[in-house]
């Protein structure tokens, strides 16, 4: 169906948490794919469906070992695991050193994830810029979302990355929906979104900001454990549901997505 790539600049503020909660509340069947070339930490942060630890060797590493002769969308499910609550995940690599041996994988992986039958894929791409090869995966996405906190230095870095990423994808002949999401505390939420919108408008990108996500440390802590009523009522999940509905609607209305996966 659709691939939605999530990323950030300078420290990747909350991208893993954002990707996890968005995939968990996504209004259609979803898969969380850890595609951070600097190394991910899902295997060490979240429990498997039976309460045990996730297997860090089962995921992108094992998929890469079998995909050199070709990668079909159906193969991806053979290397996924399930979290407590039932969310299916493709665990990423452990370190940037492992990314060196998998630089060839990003484009075929992006093509496969974008064509997953009956499944939207939420890809955590971590910090973009330091591993340009990941642009080959990001270029296959229907939507690319950059996250930022409402601090001037982070917004400035994100604005530069937004322009650079758009240019790099255009040079590859790719033009996915590109947007910005602001992570902010509840009491600063409306002001923060308005301020970042103002800054992006001044840079000639008036439609860049597509929404926000609550900065909710307590909700993020609950996300590491078993899904329950307290987490459902958290600001994190409530704001994620609104953002997920917006993003899902955006990719569903894109005619280029139709037919990729069934």
Task: Tell me, yes or no, whether 261 lies in a domain.
Answer: no
Write the CATH number for 138: 3.40.50.300
Task: Tell me, yes or no, whether 262 lies in a domain.
Answer: no
pTM attached to this predicted model: 0.92
Q: What would the pLDDT profile of 104-159 be if each residue is shown by its tens digit? A: 999 999 999 999 999 999 999 998 877 888 999 999 999 999 999 998 888 988 99
Q: What would the pLDDT profile of 148-193 be if each residue is shown by its tens digit? A: 999 888 898 899 999 999 999 999 999 899 999 999 998 898 999 9
Cβ-based neighbour number of residue 226 at 10 Å: 11
Task: Tell me, yes or no, whether 150 lies in a domain.
Answer: yes
How far is Cα 60 from Cα 110, in angstroms, rounded to an integer? 12
Domain that holds residue 164: 3-252
pLDDT band at 96 (very low <50, low <70, confident <90, very high): confident
How far is Cα 87 from Cα 20, in angstroms, rounded to an integer? 9
pLDDT band at 259 (very low <50, low <70, confident <90, very high): very low
Task: Tell me, yes or no, whether 260 lies in a domain.
Answer: no
Q: What would the pLDDT profile of 62-89 be if each residue is shown by its tens digit? A: 999 998 888 999 999 999 999 988 899 9
Instruction: Provide, rounded to the nearest whole percent, the portion of the chain with pLDDT above 90.
Output: 60
State how many domains the chain has.
1
Looking at residue 258, its pLDDT comes to 45
Burial class (CB in 10 A: 0-12, 13-18, 19+), 89: buried
Task: Tell me, yes or no, whether 137 lies in a domain.
Answer: yes
Looking at residue 225, its pLDDT comes to 63
Task: Tell me, yes or no, whether 259 lies in a domain.
Answer: no
pLDDT at 241 over 50: yes
Task: Tell me, yes or no, whether 258 lies in a domain.
Answer: no
CA atoms within 13 A on the CB side of 100: 3
Task: Tell me, yes or no, whether 57 lies in a domain.
Answer: yes
How far is Cα 117 from Cα 119, in angstroms, rounded to an integer? 6
Q: What would the pLDDT profile of 213-238 be if each residue is shown by its tens digit? A: 999 988 888 887 655 567 888 899 99
């Amino acid at each position: 169906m659709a691939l939605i790539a999530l990323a950030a600049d300078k420290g990747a503020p909350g991208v893993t948490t954002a990707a996890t909660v968005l995939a968990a509340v996504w209004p259609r069947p979803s898969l969380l794919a850890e595609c951070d070339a600097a190394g991910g930490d899902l295997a060490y942060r979240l429990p498997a469906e039976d309460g045990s630890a996730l297997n860090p060797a089962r995921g992108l590493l094992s998929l890469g070992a079998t995909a050199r002769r070709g990668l079909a969308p159906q193969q991806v499910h053979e290397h996924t695991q399930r979290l407590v609550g039932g969310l299916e995940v493709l665990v990423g690599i452990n370190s940037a050193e492992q990314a060196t041996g998998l630089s060839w994988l990003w484009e075929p992986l992006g093509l496969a994830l974008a064509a997953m039958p009956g499944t939207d894929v939420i890809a955590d791409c971590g910090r973009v810029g330091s591993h340009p090869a990941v642009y080959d995966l990001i270029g296959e996405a229907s939507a690319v979302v950059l996250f930022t906190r409402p601090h001037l230095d982070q917004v400035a870095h994100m604005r530069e990355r937004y322009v650079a990423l758009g240019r790099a994808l255009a040079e590859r002949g790719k033009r996915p929906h590109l947007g910005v999401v602001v992570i902010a505390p509840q009491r600063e939420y409306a002001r923060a979104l308005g301020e970042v919108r103002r800054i992006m408008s001044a840079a000639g990108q008036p439609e860049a900001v597509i929404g926000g996500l609550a900065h909710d440390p307590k909700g993020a802590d609950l996300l590491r454990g078993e899904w329950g009523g307290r987490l459902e009522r958290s600001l994190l999940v409530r704001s994620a549901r609104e953002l997920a509905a917006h993003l899902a609607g955006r990719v569903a209305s894109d005619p280029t997505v139709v037919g990729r996966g069934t």
